[in-house]
Amino acid sequence: MNVIPAAELDYLDALESQSIYILREAFKKFKRIAMLWSIGKDSTVLLWLARKAFFGHCPIPLVHIDTTLKIPEMIEFRDRLVTEWNLRLIVGKNEEALAAGMGPDKGRITCCNALKTEALQQLMAREQFTALILGIRRDEEGTRAKERYFSPRDRNFEWNYKDQPPEFWDQFKTDFDKDTHIRVHPLLHWSEIDVWRYIRRENIPVVGLYFSRDGERYRSLGCAPCTGRIKSDAATVDDIIEELYNTTTSERAVRAQDQEDTYAMQKLRAKGYM
């Protein structure tokens, strides 16, 4: 056998390759599949990985759930990339709840359920999607740490975290009963700092809100009323990576809905939250 110049997959290559493998499995196995794009760094990296997986194309439609409470700069960024990258975008809104005045003042968990989970549920039903790709990661919080790459949701959108299917050797749950759908999580094995190192290596555009202005920046992006900024002077991707090496605070500490209750994320996610 010929000897190759000493080369092996580097750590970011390995993360990327596993995600590409999962995206291709999902695309092959599900006819009606969409990818959730929150406009944040993770789902933007996911979108980039889809273009890697499909050699510059993104054959999977993107779904954005608009709570109308997003920070305006996020929507501008979204619309710019849709044009530049020639993406197919479907925007979902829970019009009924919005008309009835739903907002975080009605209770943060109630609001997340209505404007995110239910809006997503309505859109999935309308478009008849049977699979949805999301950019969640295991290191974000405790219930996500227990997720599978391919995770079934029942007809009520619920996640049965007490009885998940086994998943090993990259053989995934792609056979399923009708009326259920599958959540696909290609970034599950990435950590927050991995995402930023990859953004740096690939030069992936991200929304400007992540970078410091007047001594503050967003570390995690969500709806304006429930997402806080952290004190930070990190004005570039390099600065952010440096900052993350040194921080001991968790990424979602600024997300108000997580702090509502010890098991807030478990309750939200059991009902179909991202």
Minimum CB separation from other proteins for residue 34, in Å?
18
Minimum CB separation from other proteins for residue 97, in Å?
27
Tokens linked to 219: 């570390």
Minimum CB separation from other proteins for residue 16, in Å?
8
25 three-state secondary structure: helix
Minimum CB separation from other proteins for residue 3, in Å?
9
Residue 4: in which H helix or E strand, if any? none
Minimum CB separation from other proteins for residue 138, in Å?
5
Binding segment (CB under 8 A) for other proteins, from list 34-42, 98-106, 118-126, 173-181: 173-181
Distance CA 194, CA 185 (A): 16
Residue 36: in which H helix or E strand, if any? strand 33-36
**Is 122 near other proteins (CB under 8 A)?**
no
Cα R_g (the chain), whole angstroms: 19
**Is 86 near other proteins (CB under 8 A)?**
no
Total residues found in the chain within this entry: 274
Binding segment (CB under 8 A) for other proteins, from list 88-96, 124-132, 207-215, 241-249: 241-249
Distance CA 158, CA 137 (A): 19
Instruction: Determine contact, residues 133/23, Cβ cutoff 8 Å.
Output: yes
> Site mask, other proteins, residues 149-168, x = CB under 8 A?
------------xx-xxxxx
What is the DSSP-derived secondary structure letter of residue 253?
A: G
Q: What are phi and psi of 181, to 5 degrees?
A: -130, 165
List of residues contacting other proteins (CB under 8 A): 1-2, 4, 7-11, 13-14, 16-18, 20-21, 24-25, 27-28, 51-57, 59, 138-139, 141-143, 145-146, 148, 161-162, 164-169, 171, 173, 175-177, 189, 191, 202, 242, 245-246, 248-250, 253, 262-263, 266
